[in-house]
Structures are given as C-alpha cells and as structure tokens.
Structure 1
C-alpha cells in the first residue's frame, strides 16, 4: 500500500492567494486519499475541507510557526518512511529534523518569492541555509528564484517546479461576454488586471497611466479585479482624476468566476515592481500565465521572476513597473494594434498548452515524491 504524503503548509485554501492555489493544485492532482494536509484554520475551512478527496487537519489558529507544538502535531501525522512536503520552505522547513526523526523518509520543500528575498539578507540567508539542509529536494519557480536561492541551498538539491494552469478553465470564450454585459462595458477596449490590491502589484501605476491611455484610445476601460487594502485608495484616486466612468474596481470575486473576468479583457496588465530594496518581489506571477491561457497579451512589470512568466515580444511585454509612462506606452501599443495583440494572445495560449498545463506539473511533482 502506498504511504500517504504529508503536506505541511501555512498556505492553503480557502485562504486566497497564489501560493495557496499552487499547493492545493498539487494536492488535488494526487490519487484520492494519498495525501494528508496539515494547515491553519481559515474562515470557511470546514465546508472547503469536506469537499476534498483527502484528509485536511487544521491547526487551531490561523498561522503556524516552527514551534514545538506545531512540530508535535505534524509529527503525529507522519507515517514511517513517508514523504513530507512543505508548501513553503520558509519558515516551516525548520521543522524538517523533527519530522525526519518521526519517520519521514523524504522531504521536499517548495519555494516562492519570499524565500528568494530571504536569500538577500545575511541573517535570513543563514536560516534558509539551515532549512535547505533538512531537505532532499528544494524547488524553485524559475531562473530568478533559482539564482537567489542557490546562495543558500546546494544546486544539487534544486529542482524546478512552477504552478500549472487549468487550460480547460482558463481559455478564450470562458464567459467574458457575460461579465462585460453585467458591468455595462459593451464592446469597449478593456485592460484587465486580476490580482490582490497591494502596492507591489502596481494597480496604482495603472491608474496613473490611464489618462495617457485614454488620450490614444478613447473609451477604453480599466477593469481591476480583486480585493485588498488599496481598494478604497484606488477608488478615491479614480474619482479625483475624473476616471470613474473608465475605471471599474470589482473587489474580490469567486475563484470559479476568474476565467470569465480574464476573458472580459482585450489586454492583461499587472505592472508589478520590487519594493524595500528588492525584499518584496514577484516570485513568478501565475496571473500572467492564466491570462495567456485565456488568449490575452500581457503587460508585466520587471520585478523578480515575473519575466519568467512572459516571453517578451511574443506573448506580451515586460516593462518598468515603476514608470506609468512605460506602462501606458505598452498598453496603447497593444490596444491600438488589435491584430498584434491577438497574435500575442494566440502564442501565449500555445505556450501554456506546451509547457504550463497542470498535468505536466502534476507529473513533475509525482516524480519528486
């Protein structure tokens, strides 16, 4: 009988986020009953957990730290010789020695943008080195994160594992007409951004760029999809600039509805930028891949690993996310040339089908286990 894989993670639905979706996607594509997930409590987790084809054990609080109590609970879930997967290496990877002592035969750690940031600071890098020492495999998202993490983890342990895209859900014709109708957008040119509304993602730069876009493409609409602490600021900024009729902020929408919101756009844009001296960076940017799968050209910021999710000049454009003029120029170029934009979207869709489908990612994950 195959031993179950234990996934220990702070990042798991129903808490929203890219890492959460990544870890859930990996777990969901394992054979039913072959994994057990140990994750924090989150609002709505009881209903969510009941729908999963595997066991989810919830920690009493909404955050797990590498403490003795967390180690004890995780160790109790380890079957002798089983594989343990840490949904994010930092900081819970510090528990690896305790789980190895409890019987874990193999330990796999996933890394994301924040581990790449840890590798920049001497103290945090020492902790990351200690975390990596407890792993058999440490994954990375792309070239940027590999270069950073290799400062602390031996190259022999590093293996690429990036998120996959559900190409059946994210596809051209996924329901954009319904979204346009519900928001009263008609057939106006639409730039869509799907992301949490936080400074690194660059929605404020899109807002600053928008008057420049309207000069070249009158009637265009900026559709900001997602919730977050910047929502009220963005709405007030749009009102002050007289952009209320051309900027729509939807707030959070259900995950199942996201493909339709992508499909409502003509161009996707998230001009992310690095902050705090490079400590707050984009690890990859799954939204760029989802947009490409939906057949949209993308405009991405040059932060961190974001360029790994775009083929510049082929599937989209990578620009300086701190420059609203650069962002506006890229958006105008694509909106004003629908044939070029459409060709980029088609190449993006083909790229996703060739390299980023979930079945390919699931096979890579299975090999690591």
Structure 2
C-alpha cells in the first residue's frame, strides 16, 4: 500500500475564505484539489458579528472537506491554539500538516511533530520576505525552517530573501510552490463585453486594474499616468476593480488631476464576477511598488497571470516577485513602481497597437496553460505532503 498517498492533511491557516485575498484563494484552490476525505482545515474566524458568522458558516457548509474554525480572528501559535491543532491532528488521524503561511504558525511544528505528524510543509509569501529582514523575526523564521520538512516559496525573489534567514540545510530544502490559475475560469470571452456595456464603456479603450485598493498596488500611479494616456487616447478609461481603504484618496487624486470622468471605480466585486471584469479590459496594469523599506512587498501578483489567462497584455510593477509573473517583452512589460510616465508610455503603446496586444495576450495565455495551471501545482503539493 502507498502510505504516502493515504496521509490525511491538516491545513492550519489564518488565510482562508470567506476572508478575501490572494493567499486565501491560493489555499482554497489547493485544498479543493486534494482528496476531500483526507483534508481537515483549521482556520481563524473571518470576522465577528452576525453577518460574518453567517457568511463563514455558509461557506464552510459548502466545502467538500472538514473546516474547523477557531473563535479568534487571528490564529497565533499560543499554547491554546497549539493544543487545539494537536487535538485535531489526533482526532482526524492526520499524518501531514500544511501551514498556509509559514510565519508565525510554523512555530507549532515541533508540537505537531511530537503528536505524530510525519510531513510538515510551510508555505511562504511576501510577508516572510519582510520577516527575513528583521533580527528577531529572522530567528523565528530560521526556527520554522529547521523544524519543518520544507518551506515553499512563490518565486525567485521570495526564495532569495527568505533563504538568507535560514540554515543552509533548511534553505536547501526549499521548493517552489506558487499559486495557480484556473484557465477554464479566466479565459478570453469571459464576459467582458457585457461588463463594458453595463458600465457604459462600450467602444472605449479600457485599462483595467483588479486588486485591493492599498498604496503598494499602484492604482495611484495609474491615475497619475492618465493625463498622458488621455493625451494620446482621449476616450480611454481606467477601470479600477476592487475595494479597500485607499479608495477615497484615489478618488480625490483623480478629481485633483481632472481625470475623474475617465476613472471608473467598481468597488468590491464578487469572486465569480472577476473573470468578466478582467475581460472588460484591453490592457491590464498594476504598477506595484515596494514600500516601508522592503517590508511591504508584492509576493508574486497572481492577478497578472489571471489577466494573461484572459488574453490581456500586462503592465506590472517591479515590486518583489511581481516580475516572476510576467515574461518581460513577451507577455507584457515590467515598469519601475511609482513611475507614472514609464507606466503611461507602455499603456499608450499597447492601446495604439491591437496586433501587439493580441500577440502578448496570446503568449500569456499559452504560458499560463503550460506552467501555471492549478492541476499541475496541486500535483506538486500532493507530492510534498
């Protein structure tokens, strides 16, 4: 009997739907592709209150695997949480553990190992790259690396930063495990024309940005680029898809620059409607930038790959691992984060050249199909576990 294939996995994470976000989508998509009879998820509560509780309960009930929620909105490796994780491991006969984010929950690895875990995998994201720069956090990250079987990384940027904080042995065990793209959900013809029609954008050149509205993502750079874009393409519109705390500042910026009529904010959009909103664009742009001395950095930028799967050329910022999601000059371009002129030049070039947009979009779609499909990456995770 293949005992490796028979292992039940305990996923321990703060990042799980219905809490929104890229890491949450990554973990959920991976969990869905594992054997549901051999998956148990131990996650924090999304948010307190009746609305949050109802949304969480409805989501959990719809899953094919067991989801156990902690009463807290943020799991930390405290004695109580560790005891609960150990209890779930034993109750469900789990023999492998996947920490959805290595830091700080990976500090529970020794206790879970003593309780019977045979394989422990911890996934790193952008924030662990930030941890690697801080003395105390570096020591904790090193401990996590030494007590797990492997740390996974998103791309070369995160690997190089995190490896510096690890022992040589732990660094040598690192394995790439990036998020994937559902190429059957994100594809050309995903409903973009209907979105354009509904929003009154039919017939206009559309630059779309799909992301949470926070300073790192670079929506302010796109707005600052719009006067130059409009000088070349007077009918162009920037479609900003997503919600977040930065929206009020962005709206004020657009008004101040006199481009408010050419910037459309959708607010938060349900996940199932996102593919159509990608498809509403002619060009996808998110010129992300690194902030706070390297502590606020883009881990990868799955939205670039979702845009590529939809057949769009992309304009990406150079923050952290974002360039790993673009073949510069082939599926799109990488620009320096925080440079409106450079961003505008690339957007204007793409809007003026339909053949170039088609060529880059086609190349991006092919790259996703050959390297970034969820089924390929889920096979890799199963092997690690």
TM-score, structure 1 normalization: 0.98
Residue in structure 1 matched with residue 84 of structure 2 by the alignment: 73
1:141 to 129, 154, 165: 154
Residue in 1 aligned with 2:65?
54
Contact 1:207 1:238 survives alignment (8 Å)? yes
Aligned length: 369
Are positions 1:88 and 2:101 aligned together?
A: yes
1:9 aligns with 2:13: yes
* In 2: Cα distance, 1:162 partner to 1:81 partner: 24
Q: Deviations over 1:335-356 (max 9, x none)?
A: 1111111100000000000000
Give the equivalent residue in structure 2 for 1:159: 175
**Is 48-57 or 334-343 further displaced after alignment?**
334-343
> 2: distance between equivalents of 1:222 and 1:81?
48
Q: What secondary structure is seen at the aligned counterpart in 2 of 1:347?
A: helix
Q: Which runs of 4+ in 1 moved over 3 A?
A: none
Asked if 1:224 corresponds to 2:228, the answer is no
Q: 2:330 aligns with which of 295, 311, 314?
A: 314
1:40 is the counterpart of 2:56? no
For residues 254-309 of structure 1, give each alpha carbon's deviation from its aligned partner in whole angstroms, at most 9, with x where no partner exists: 00000000000000000000001111110100000000000000000000000000
TM-score after normalising by structure 2: 0.94
Alpha-carbon distance in structure 1 between the residues aligned to 2:266 and 2:106: 37
Provide the rounded CA distance (Å) in 1 between the counterparts of 2:151 and 2:305: 23
Alignment partners' CA distance in 2, 1:266 and 1:13: 30
1:124 corresponds in structure 2 to: 137
1:121 offset after TM fit, Å?
A: 2.1
The runs of 5 or more residues in structure 2 that have no matched partner are 47-51
Offset at residue 149 of structure 1 (A): 1.3
Unaligned runs of 5+ in 1: none
Moved more, 329-338 or 53-62: 329-338
1:81 Cα deviation (Å)?
Answer: 6.2
**How many angstroms does 1:22 deviate by?**
0.5
Cross-structure match for 1:335: 351
Supply the distance in 1 between the matched residues of 2:220 and 2:152 (Cα, whole angstroms).
Answer: 32
Asked if 1:204 is matched to 2:217, the reply is no
In 2, Cα distance between equivalents of 1:25 and 1:149: 24
CA offsets 1:303-335 (integer angstroms, 9 cap, x no match)? 000000000000000001111111111111111
1:25 maps to 29
Write the deviation string for residues 52-79 of structure 1: whole angstroms up to 9, x where unpaired. Answer: 0000000002111110111011110114
* 8 Å Cα contact 2:8-2:94 kept in structure 1: no
Tell me, yes or no, if the aligned pair for 1:81 and 1:106 is still in contact at 8 Å. no
**Aligned twin of 1:104:** 117
| Aligned match for 1:295, one of 287, 302, 311 | 311
Q: Secondary structure at the match of 1:351?
A: helix
